[in-house]
C-alpha cells in the first residue's frame, strides 16, 4: 500500500540505491500540533550509514497538512551530545502553556524557547520547507553527515531527537521578548518561530515510510483553491506537488 510513491520519493529511493550493502536505519515521527495549529503529519528519516567509502547521509521526508500556506522554518532539534537527555514533545500534557512557572510565562503559548527545554536546540535546518495553497507539505531533503557534527554520536542515532515545524498567525502577541519569537506586529501577526508541531523520532522500518503522493483534493478543496486565485493558484499548486 506504500508502493505508490511519487517521483519525489522515487528520486530519494534512487539516491539511497547505491547503499545496497550499507546499513540503513529508519526513524519515524507522528507530528503533534502545538499552539492550536491543527498541523498533523508524518516525518520519516533514512540514515545511510558508513560504507567502505565512509560516506553517510540522512534523508528527511515530511508529509504534513494543516499549515498556513507559504514558507515555514523547520529543524531537527536535540540536546548536545555531551549533554544528551531524553527529549519530550512539549504537548499540553507535559507543558501547560497557561500555567506560569519556571521556563513558562503562562501566556497560553508554547513559545520557541519554552519548547526548547523539551526538544533542545537546532541541529539541522530543513531549508525550503513550504506549504502549498491547501496547507500541505510534501518535502524531502538529504543531509551529507559524513563529517559527523551535532547529529553524530558514538553510535550514530537520532534517538531523543525531534523535528519541530514553526510559523503561524496569532491573534495576540505572545509575552516575553518579542524579537526572540519573530513576532510581526499587526496586521501581519505572523510569528515565524512559534512552534506549530513537533515529534520525537522513533525507530522504524521501511514500511513506516509515508506515502508522499499528494492525494487529490476533494471537490470542495479545489473550489477553495480556485477561489484563492484561479489558474495562478492551480499552477503554483501543480508545481509544488510535482
| Interface positions with Cu ion (CB under 5 A) | 75, 164
Give min distance, CB of 43 to Cu ion, in A.
13
**Nearest to Cu ion of 27, 237 (CB atom):** 27
Would you say 158 and 47 are in contact if contact means Cβ atoms under 8 Å apart? yes
**Nearest to Cu ion of 67, 164 (CB atom):** 164
Residue 221: C-alpha distances to residues 41, 132, 168, 234 (Å)? 18, 12, 21, 11
Strand partners for 191: 168, 183
**Nearest to Cu ion of 44, 119 (CB atom):** 119
**Nearest to Cu ion of 49, 182 (CB atom):** 182
- C-alpha–C-alpha distance, residues 57 and 49, integer Å: 7
**Nearest to Cu ion of 113, 206 (CB atom):** 113
**Which grid cell is 111?**
513559545
Give min distance, CB of 77 to Cu ion, in A.
6
Helices 230-241, 219-227: crossing angle, 10 deg rounding: 120
**Nearest to Cu ion of 118, 237 (CB atom):** 118
Would you say 132 and 236 are in contact if contact means Cβ atoms under 8 Å apart? yes
What 3-state DSSP class applies to 178? Answer: helix
Which residue lies nearest Cu ion, judged by its C-beta? 75
Task: Tally the C-alpha atoms within 13 A of residue 221's C-alpha that lie toward its C-beta.
Answer: 14
Strand partners for 195: 166
Give min distance, CB of 74 to Cu ion, in A.
7
Q: Where do the H-state alpha helices sit in 81-209?
A: 112-119, 178-181
Residue with cell 534512487: 14
Give min distance, CB of 87 to Cu ion, in A.
12
**Nearest to Cu ion of 63, 196 (CB atom):** 196
80's CB contacts (< 8 A; 6+ apart) are 120, 121, 150
- C-alpha–C-alpha distance, residues 148 and 214, integer Å: 33
Amino acid at each position: 500500500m506504500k508502493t505508490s510513491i511519487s517521483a519525489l520519493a522515487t528520486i530519494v529511493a534512487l539516491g539511497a540505491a547505491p547503499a545496497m550493502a550499507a546499513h540503513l536505519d529508519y526513524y519515524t515521527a507522528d507530528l503533534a500540533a502545538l499552539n492550536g495549529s491543527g498541523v498533523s503529519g508524518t516525518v520519516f528519516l533514512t540514515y545511510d550509514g558508513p560504507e567502505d567509502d565512509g560516506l553517510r547521509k540522512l534523508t528527511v521526508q515530511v508529509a504534513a497538512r494543516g499549515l498556513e500556506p507559504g514558507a515555514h522554518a523547520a529543524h531537527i532539534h536535540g540536546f548536545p551530545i555531551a549533554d544528551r537527555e531524553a527529549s519530550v514533545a512539549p504537548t499540553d500534557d507535559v507543558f501547560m502553556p497557561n500555567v506560569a512557572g519556571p521556563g513558562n510565562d503562562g501566556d497560553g503559548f508554547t513559545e520557541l524557547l519554552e519548547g526548547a527545554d523539551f526538544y533542545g536546540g537546532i541541529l539541522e535546518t530543513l531549508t525550503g520547507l513550504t506549504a502549498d495553497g491547501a496547507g500541505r507539505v510534501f518535502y524531502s531533503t538529504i543531509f551529507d553527515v559524513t563529517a559527523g557534527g551535532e547529529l553524530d554520536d558514538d553510535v550514530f542515532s537520532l534517538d531523543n531527537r525531534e523535528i519541530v515545524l514553526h510559523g503561524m498567525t496569532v491573534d495576540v502577541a505572545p509575552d516575553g521578548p518579542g524579537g526572540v519569537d519573530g513576532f510581526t506586529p499587526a496586521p501581519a501577526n505572523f510569528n515565524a518561530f512559534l512552534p506549530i508541531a513537533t515529534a520525537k523520532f522513533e525507530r522504524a522500518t521501511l514500511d513506516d515510510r509515508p506515502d508522499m503522493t499528494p492525494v487529490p483534493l476533494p471537490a470542495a478543496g479545489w473550489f477553495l483553491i480556485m477561489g484563492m486565485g484561479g489558474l495562478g493558484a492551480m499552477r503554483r499548486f501543480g508545481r509544488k506537488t510535482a
